C-alpha cells in the first residue's frame, strides 16, 4: 500500500516521511538502501493503534541526496528535528538494520526524546556483517556498483527467472531477498549510490562493523527495549541478538524462526503480534508519568 509522503526542509534539504494514524507516536527508521516502503504492511497495521512516522533518511528513498553529513549522529539529529517540526516530545523508536544504529545513536544523544526502543535485525551490536556490505566499503566499489545494479544486468536476471519458471523450475525468493533485490537497484542512480557509500563506509569497514553501541547499554537499563531477529538472517547474524541478552537482560527478545533479515516482511503477522503489545504499553507508562508529574 502506498502512503502519502510529506516533506520538510532542514538546512535546505528536503526530508520526506509518512505521518499516519492517531495515538502515541512511533518512529520507524529503515535500513541501508531502504525507505518507508521497506516496512511493508506494518505502517498501515500499526497506524490502527498509533501515530506512525516512517521517515526516509537523508540519502535514501525520496529524501534529498545532496553531498553532506550522513553519519549516525546527523541522521539522529534530523529525526530530532522532525519530531520538533511535528510537535512530538517523546516517541517510541523502531529501527531496522542500519536504522537500529540510528535509533541507538538517538538514545545516546537525545535520551529525553526516546520513550522506548525496538531493534529489528539491528546494526551496531557487533562487528559481524555480510561480505556484501563489507565489500561496499572497499576502494573501487563505486565503480563496480553501477555495473551490478545496471538495468541490463537486472533485466538479464529477470529473464533468467522467467525462463526457469517456464521450464518448471521457478526460483523461490523470500520477501527479504526480494526487498534486498529491489533496493539494490537504487544504486544505479549516481546520487543514491554516493549517499549509500558514504553511509555504509561510516559504519562498516573491510573487517566488519566499526561502531558498536553495546558498551553504552548499561546506562539505559531504564528504557523499555525489545529486540526482534530472523533466525535465518544472512546480513547480520542472530548471534548479535543473543549477545544483546547479556548486556540488556531486561529487553524482550523475539526470534522469528522462518524469517531472514527483514522479519517484518518475512513473517509480518508474527512480527506485528510481537511488537504491537510492546508499543501499546506506552499508554500506561505515559499515564503513570503524568500522575507523578501532577
What does each of the 294 residues of the chain score in pLDDT, given as a tens digit? 689 999 999 999 999 999 999 999 999 999 999 999 999 999 999 999 999 999 999 999 999 999 889 999 999 999 999 999 999 999 999 999 999 999 999 999 999 999 999 999 999 999 999 988 898 888 888 767 766 665 644 454 444 444 444 555 544 578 888 888 788 888 888 999 999 999 999 999 999 999 988 888 888 888 999 999 999 999 999 988 877 666 676 888 999 999 999 999 999 999 999 999 999 998 755 544 444 344
Judgement on whether residues 111 and 224 belong to the same structural domain of the protein: yes
Judgement on whether residues 126 and 261 belong to the same structural domain of the protein: yes
Tell me, yes or no, if the pTM score tops 0.75: yes
- Is 97 an annotated catalytic residue? yes
User: pLDDT at position 82, please?
Assistant: 98
Euclidean distance between CA atoms 97 and 119, whole angstroms: 8
Judgement on whether residues 26 and 118 belong to the same structural domain of the protein: yes
Q: Which residue in the list 38, 63, 78, 97 is annotated as catalytic?
A: 97
Residue 138 CB neighbours (<10 A): 12
- Is 233 an annotated catalytic residue? yes
Judgement on whether residues 61 and 115 belong to the same structural domain of the protein: yes
Residue span of the structural domain in which 184 resides: 132-198
Best CA proximity match to 17, nearest among 58, 47, 45: 58
- 61: Cβ–Cβ under 8 A, 6 or more apart, which residues? 16, 30, 34, 35, 36, 37
Judgement on whether residues 38 and 166 belong to the same structural domain of the protein: no
Judgement on whether residues 186 and 106 belong to the same structural domain of the protein: no
Judgement on whether residues 176 and 216 belong to the same structural domain of the protein: no
Q: Which residue in the list 63, 233, 264, 266 is annotated as catalytic?
A: 233
Judgement on whether residues 66 and 180 belong to the same structural domain of the protein: no
Judgement on whether residues 50 and 179 belong to the same structural domain of the protein: no
Judgement on whether residues 215 and 185 belong to the same structural domain of the protein: no
Q: Which residue in the list 30, 36, 75, 261 is annotated as catalytic?
A: 261
Which of 198, 221, 252 is the endpoint of a domain? 198
- 93: Cβ–Cβ under 8 A, 6 or more apart, which residues? 26, 27, 29, 79, 103, 106, 107, 114, 115, 116, 117, 118
**Per-residue DSSP letter, 171:** P
Judgement on whether residues 111 and 20 belong to the same structural domain of the protein: yes
Tell me if 292 is assigned to some domain.
no
- Is 261 an annotated catalytic residue? yes
The count of structural domains within the chain is 2
Amino acid at each position: 500500500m502506498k502512503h502519502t509522503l510529506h516533506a520538510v526542509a532542514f538546512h535546505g534539504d528536503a526530508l520526506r516521511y509518512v505521518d499516519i494514524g492517531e495515538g502515541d507516536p512511533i518512529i520507524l527508521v529503515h535500513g541501508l538502501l531502504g525507505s518507508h516502503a521497506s516496512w511493508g504492511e506494518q505502517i498501515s497495521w500499526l497506524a490502527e493503534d498509533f501515530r506512525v512516522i516512517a521517515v526516509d533518511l537523508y540519502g535514501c528513498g525520496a529524501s534529498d541526496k545532496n553531498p553532506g553529513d550522513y553519519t549516525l549522529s546527523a541522521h539522529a539529529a534530523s529525526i530530532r528535528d522532525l519530531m520538533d517540526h511535528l510537535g512530538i516530545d517523546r516517541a517510541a523508536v523502531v529501527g531496522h538494520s542500519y536504522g537500529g544504529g540510528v535509533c541507538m545513536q538517538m538514545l545516546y544523544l537525545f535520551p529525553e526524546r526516546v520513550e522506548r526502543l525496538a531493534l529489528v535485525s539491528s546494526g551496531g551490536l557487533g562487528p559481524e556483517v555480510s561480505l556484501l556490505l563489507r565489500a561496499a566499503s572497499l576502494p573501487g566499489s563505486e565503480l563496480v556498483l553501477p555495473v551490478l545494479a545496471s538495468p541490463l544486468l537486472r533485466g538479464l536476471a529477470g529473464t533468467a527467472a522467467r525462463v526457469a519458471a517456464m521450464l518448471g523450475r521457478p526460483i523461490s525468493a523470500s520477501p527479504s531477498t526480494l526487498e534486498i533485490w529491489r533496493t539494490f537497484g537504487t544504486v544505479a542512480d549516481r546520487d543514491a549510490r554516493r549517499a549509500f557509500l558514504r553511509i555504509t563506509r561510516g559504519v562498516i569497514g573491510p573487517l566488519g562493523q566499526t561502531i558498536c553501541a553495546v558498551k553504552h547499554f548499561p546506562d539505559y537499563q531504564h528504557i523499555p527495549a525489545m529486540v526482534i531477529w530472523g533466525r535465518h538472517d544472512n546480513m547480520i547474524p542472530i548471534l548479535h541478538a543473543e549477545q544483546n541478552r547479556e548486556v540488556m537482560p531486561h529487553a524482550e527478545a523475539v526470534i522469528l524462526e522462518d524469517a531472514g533479515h527483514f522479519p517484518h516482511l518475512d513473517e509480518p503477522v508474527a512480527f506485528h503480534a510481537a511488537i504491537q503489545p510492546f508499543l501499546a504499553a506506552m499508554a500506561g507508562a505515559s499515564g503513570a508519568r503524568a500522575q507523578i508529574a501532577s
